Amino acid sequence: MLTAQFWAGATDRAVKSFAQSLILLWTADQGFNVLEIAVGPTFGVAVGAAALSLLTSIVSAPVGDRGSTSLIPDAR
């Protein structure tokens, strides 16, 4: 968990979770309408998803391969 490789992987996963949450929230109801986006709440949920992703990577560190953010051994 104390390697640059681990934090690069964890950051990559968190950014992806953030983006996926925004896309889901912006398109789930009526499709993407930039004039009706509730920016504060959607970014709040996306930041929460990114934080959960980082926490999941941290909790996974002792289980998977050394330096990996995955629970699965030999996962790349």
**Every domain of the chain and the residues it spans:** 4-60
pLDDT computed for residue 63 by the predictor: 78
Q: Which one is predicted more confidently, 60 or 8?
A: 8
59: number of CA atoms within 13 Å, CB side? Answer: 6
Residue 15 has a pLDDT of 94
- Supply 45's token pair: 């949920």
pLDDT in tens, 26-65: 887 666 676 777 888 889 999 999 999 999 888 888 777 7
Asked whether residue 75 carries a pLDDT value surpassing 70, the answer given is no
Tell me the torsion sign for CA atoms 63, 66, 70, 73. Answer: negative
